[in-house]
Amino acid sequence: MKFDTPATTNPIDRMTLVGQPLDRIDGRLKTTGKAAYAYEHQDAVRRHAYGYVLGAAIAKGRITAMDLAAARAAPGVLAVVTAANAGPLDKGEMNTAPLLGGPQVDHYHQAIALVVAESFEQARDAALAIRVDYARAEGAYDLAAARDTAEKVKQSASATGDFERAFAAAPVTLEATYTTPDQSHAMMEPHASIAAWDGDALVVWTSNQMIAWGAGELAKTLRMPREKVRLISPFIGGGFGGKLFLRADALLAALGARAAGRPVKVALQRPLVANNTTHRPATIQRIRLGAGQDGRITAIGHESWSGDQKGGQPETAVDQTRLLYAGANRLTQLRLAVLDLPEGNAMRAPGEAPGLMALEIAMDEMAEKLGLDPVEFRILNDTQVDPNDPKRPFSQRQLVECLRLGAERFGWRQRNPRPGQARDGRWLTGLGVAAAFRNNLVMKSGARIRLNSRGGITVETDMTDIGTGSYTIIAQTAAEMMGVGMDQVTVRLGDSSFPASAGSGGQWGANSATAGVYAACVKLREAVAQALGFNSADAVFEGGEIRAGNRRVALGQAAGAAELVVEDSIEFGDLDKRYQQSTFGAHFVEVAVDSATGEARIRRMLAVCAAGRILNPKTARSQVIGAMTMGVGGALMEELAVDRRHGFFVNHDLAGYEVPVHADIPHQEVIFLDETDPVSSPMKAKGVGELGLCGVAAAIANAVHNATGVRLRDYPITLDKYLDRLPELA
């Protein structure tokens, strides 16, 4: 199905099931421990063995010798795989360095060997017996030091008007530099896979967000026909972008299983999750704002520096600045430095999340300079068209409504505009706000629908569920379209033998995948109507029946004695070029800072989101409060500490890499505006899981400033950066 005309009325608009806060249909499996994650499919294979990955002990250089004798002779060892004996491998298109290194080493903890043994302990002990000699090379590990050598990314440059002249002439200006650190996805489930060969065919149970991508990359790396590789990933224990691409666990499990002649399980140990897989790269961001005395922005400039391996990509931290606020004269630019740290890549809301961490502090600073309320300053500079192309309107844009409703609900009027003045005993208290923005992305997505003689519906698509509720919203979509109850729908996900979907990433998953199911259901409705002699245009699907006029027939009769099976996909036309499609929100936060110790505590949080039709308010709220929690980590705790001598992340486990826990998170409230966007998809929905993160950290930083009077521009906001600057208690 081609979607190139704004959707008007369709069966989804009944919203008897879609749009309702239904419980997750997979909830019982997860709460009882019956949901099988990647490392738990041992029942599907016989006599599986265990693989243990050895990571490189240097960040850059070469392996000059590798002594495998002790490992091969160790008890229980079945095989040892290295680049020297793995056979010919191609590098996939979606990673900057080979997943199996050697003799060249591209980054610290790059996989250089896999030991396969009868037990995990045997594999681990044998891997530690491998002796590796290295020739270490000089590397670049410091973004600040590499800033001057960073190259401009040509396709990222954007200029409208004459920024430099307008900024120089502006009555009120701000120029400031902000930094965000390297961050880890720190998902609960590590990267894990089980691989099994059947002749020349390979099956891998893995933890991967994008099944079609992963299967294609694995086939390419192993130089195999794509149809000979099957990936299965029904449940994923968190990904946040870190499992978008094929990683070493899946490749090494496949190589290990081939070498051992048995199925092999591989899970990356936690330090390798930080150093071997991807992370959110650090940024240095320069923001310049110019405005008139009336508070209207006349010049807005945003430049960002980030680093990655040679051939990598920049963190796109300026994207939101192109679209979020009005201003005739604009300049954005990305610069990329070559660093020899582990690969930087997508982490929840790549670009907008770190970009808003800087931009929304700058907006707060500018409002203070102008003597304007931070909420009103943002409202004053709203725009209903793409500021770079005034002829291109937003399909929906309710940023102002989010800010005003949030201010009212949060009690913004009680905020003391003078920083450091509000107190609660020994605690300095403050309120902060930030706008939220994330583009609405859509991707082609397909599904297969089966109708049986009892009227039961089975949906098959390689869409994944990373804890987001995909099973439930897909079931809601199919049930709504076919007029059956939720108990009549079975959803099967995460298998590359199913039609390729959008997958989970970029906030495109829910909207695109359900639109793909919608397309398949439209085709099934037509097939049912034809089989039963109905005019599909007049037919009503409801209560497990199809009816028109006085005639009604049970849905299952269309299947006959077997099944009625259809398959289709949603393909998006050029609506995203004719309209700017984005999601918007506003975050409000209250913090308290201990005037003696500097300890910062979050007291309450509010997110107001405008993100199209909310397909399931319960699962969507779960996504947003999880994102808000991640925002607390990004503001106050999370930082991969770089050893700038040896080029690795020091705090590469969950003991040293701090994330928020329950005690850190108080009352959270989420409000969804009543919005449908007919330009986005037939579902009239958008994504919301990343929008909930965008802006949170800046709202916290602004609240800390309001509480203490100390303005911090370097994340995370830890007490050592402001303790000696706190106001004295009277």
**And the tokens for 291?**
């405005």
- pLDDT digits 0-9 by tens, 241-261: 999 999 999 999 999 999 999
Which DSSP string corresponds to 317-333? Answer: TTGGGGTSS--SEEEEE
**Cα–chain-centroid distance for residue 473?**
18
SS3 string, 656-723, reads CCCCCCHHHCCEEEEEECCCCCCCCCCCCECCCCCCCCCCHHHHHHHHHHHHHCCCCCECCCCHHHCH
Structure confidence by residue, pLDDT tens digits, 262-297? 999 999 999 999 999 999 999 999 999 999 999 999
Average pLDDT of the residues of the chain: 97
Residue 728, pLDDT score: 74
What's the rounded mean pLDDT across residues 702-730?
93
Structure tokens at 399: 């940023």
pTM of this structure: 0.98
Which CATH number applies to 392-440+581-725: 3.30.70.580, 2.30.290.10, 3.30.365.10, 3.90.1170.50?
A: 3.30.365.10
Per annotation, catalytic residue among 189, 638, 639, 690: 690
What share of the chain has pLDDT > 90, as a percent?
A: 96
45-54 pLDDT, tens digit per residue, is 989 999 999 9
**For residue 46, what pLDDT is reported?**
87
Per-residue buried b or exposed e for 401-435, using 16+ beta carbons within 10 Å of the residue's own CB: bbbbbbbeebebeebeeebbebbeeebbbbbbbbb
Residue-level pLDDT at 729: 60
The region of weakest confidence among 140-144, 153-157, 238-242 is 153-157
Say what the pLDDT of residue 727 is: 87
Amino acid at 660: P
CA atoms of 104 and 107, how far apart (whole Å): 9
Diameter of the chain measured on Cα atoms: 84
**pLDDT tens sequence across 604-644:** 999 999 999 999 999 999 999 999 999 999 999 999 999 99
Hey, how many other C-beta atoms are within 10 angstroms of the C-beta on 226? 12
pLDDT in tens, 369-426: 999 999 999 999 999 999 999 999 999 999 999 999 999 999 999 999 999 999 999 9
Q: Is the pLDDT of residue 531 over 70?
A: yes
Mean pLDDT of 130-159: 96
The two tokens of residue 659 are 């994330």
> Which has the closest alpha carbon to 188: 121, 148, 238, 120?
238
pLDDT greater than 80 at residue 112: yes
In the block, residue with structure tokens 């309450």: 604
Instruction: Give me the mean pLDDT over the 195-212 stretch.
Output: 98
Tell me the pLDDT tens digit for each residue of 326-378: 999 999 999 999 999 999 999 999 999 999 999 999 999 999 999 999 999 99
Instruction: Return the residue matching tokens 């003391």.
Output: 416
Contact 573, 4 (CB under 8 A): yes
Give alpha helix (H) positions in 198-349: 211-222, 248-260, 270-275
307 bridge partner residues: 337
**Per-residue pLDDT at 369:** 98
CB 81 within 8 Å of CB 137: no
Closest CA to 344 of 244, 206, 217: 244
Domain boundaries, the chain: 2-35+443-573, 392-440+581-725
Residue appearing with tokens 């049912």: 528
The C-alpha atoms of residue 431 and residue 422 are separated, in whole angstroms, by 10
- 148: number of Cβ within 10 Å: 9
Q: pLDDT-derived band of residue 730, with 50, 70 and 90 as boundaries?
A: very low
Q: Which of 683, 680, 694, 682 is nearest to 614 (CA)?
A: 683
Residues 513 and 499: their CA atoms lie apart, in Å, by: 11
Whether 526 sits among the annotated catalytic residues: the reply is no
Write down the CATH number for the domain with range 2-35+443-573. Answer: 3.30.365.10
Give residue 155's pLDDT.
85
User: Would you state the structure tokens that stand for residue 184, as one six-digit string?
Assistant: 């880890």
pLDDT at 92: 87
Indicate the SS3 state at residue 467.
Answer: coil
> Do 2-35+443-573 and 392-440+581-725 fold alike per CATH?
yes
* Segment 154-168 mean pLDDT: 94
